[in-house]
Amino acid sequence: MIYDYVIIGSGIIGSCVARELSKYQTKVLVLEKENDAANGQTIANSAIIHSGHDPKENTLKSKLCVEGNKMYDKMESELSIPLLRTGGFVVARGADEEKLLESLYQRGLSNGVLDMSILNFDEAKKLEPLLTKDATKILSLPSTKVTYPWEVAFACLENAIKNGVSFEKNSEVTGIKKVDDIFILEINYKTQVQARNVINAAGVFADQIAYMIEKDIKYQIKPRKGEYLVLDRKAKNLYNHVLYALPTSQGKGVLVVPQVHGNVLIGPTSSLLDDKSLVSNTSSGIKQIQTDVKRLVDHVPYELNIRTFAGIRASSTFEDFYIKESIEYKGFYHVAGIDSPGLTAAPAIAKYLIEQVISEKLIKNENFDPIRLKKKTFYKMKDEEMKKAIQENKAYGNIICKCEKITEAEIVDAIHSTIGNDTIKGIRKRARAGSGLCQGGYCEGLVLKIIARETKQPLNQINYYSLDTPILVKETKVKS
Ligand X SMILES: Cc1cc2nc3c(=O)[nH]c(=O)nc-3n(C[C@H](O)[C@H](O)[C@H](O)COP(=O)(O)OP(=O)(O)OC[C@H]3O[C@@H](n4cnc5c(N)ncnc54)[C@H](O)[C@@H]3O)c2cc1C
Closest separation between CB of residue 441 and ligand X, Å? 26
β-bridge partners, 221: 316
349: nearest Cα among 18, 3, 1: 18
Cα separation values, 391 from 384, 394, 396, 439, Å: 11, 6, 9, 30
Beta strands 264-267; 224-231: pairing state = antiparallel
14 contacts ligand X (rule: CB under 6 A)? yes
Q: Closer to ligand X at the Cβ: 52 or 436?
A: 52
268 contacts ligand X (rule: CB under 6 A)? yes
222 contacts ligand X (rule: CB under 6 A)? no
Q: Closer to ligand X at the Cβ: 173 or 451?
A: 173
Name which position in 7, 12, 229, 293 contacts ligand X (CB under 6 A): 12
Site pattern 337..356 for ligand X (x: CB under 6 A): -xxxxxxx------------
Angle between helices 408-416 and 424-431 (to 10 degrees): 110
Are residues 240 and 340 in contact, defined by beta-carbon separation less than 8 angstroms?
no
Q: Closer to ligand X at the Cβ: 148 or 396?
A: 148
Closest separation between CB of residue 232 and ligand X, Å? 20
Are residues 111 and 57 in contact, defined by beta-carbon separation less than 8 angstroms?
yes
288 contacts ligand X (rule: CB under 6 A)? no
**Residue 185 contacts by C-beta under 8 Å, 6 or more apart in sequence?**
6, 8, 31, 173, 175, 176, 192, 193, 194, 195, 198
What is the chain's length? 480
Q: Closer to ligand X at the Cβ: 32 or 413?
A: 32
69 contacts ligand X (rule: CB under 6 A)? no
Using CB under 6 A, which residues numbered 194 to 213 contact ligand X? 201-205, 209
What does the alpha-carbon distance between residue 251 and residue 273 come to, in Å, rounded to a whole number?
Answer: 15
206: nearest Cα among 83, 307, 324: 324
Q: What residue is closest to ligand X based on CB?
A: 342
What does the alpha-carbon distance between residue 337 and residue 413 come to, in Å, rounded to a whole number?
Answer: 35
Active-site annotation holder among 50, 53, 241, 334: 50
What does the alpha-carbon distance between residue 347 and residue 344 come to, in Å, rounded to a whole number?
Answer: 8
266 contacts ligand X (rule: CB under 6 A)? no
Closest separation between CB of residue 122 and ligand X, Å? 29
Determine whether 53 is an active site residue: no
46 contacts ligand X (rule: CB under 6 A)? yes
Q: Closer to ligand X at the Cβ: 314 or 400?
A: 314
8 contacts ligand X (rule: CB under 6 A)? yes
Name which position in 311, 426, 434, 436 contacts ligand X (CB under 6 A): 311
32 contacts ligand X (rule: CB under 6 A)? yes
170: nearest Cα among 259, 37, 14, 349: 37
What does the alpha-carbon distance between residue 166 and residue 70 come to, in Å, rounded to a whole number?
Answer: 28
Residues contributing to the site for ligand X (CB under 6 A):
8-14, 31-34, 39-42, 44-48, 50, 172-173, 201-205, 209, 226, 268, 311-313, 338-344
User: Mind telling me the catalytic residues?
Assistant: 50
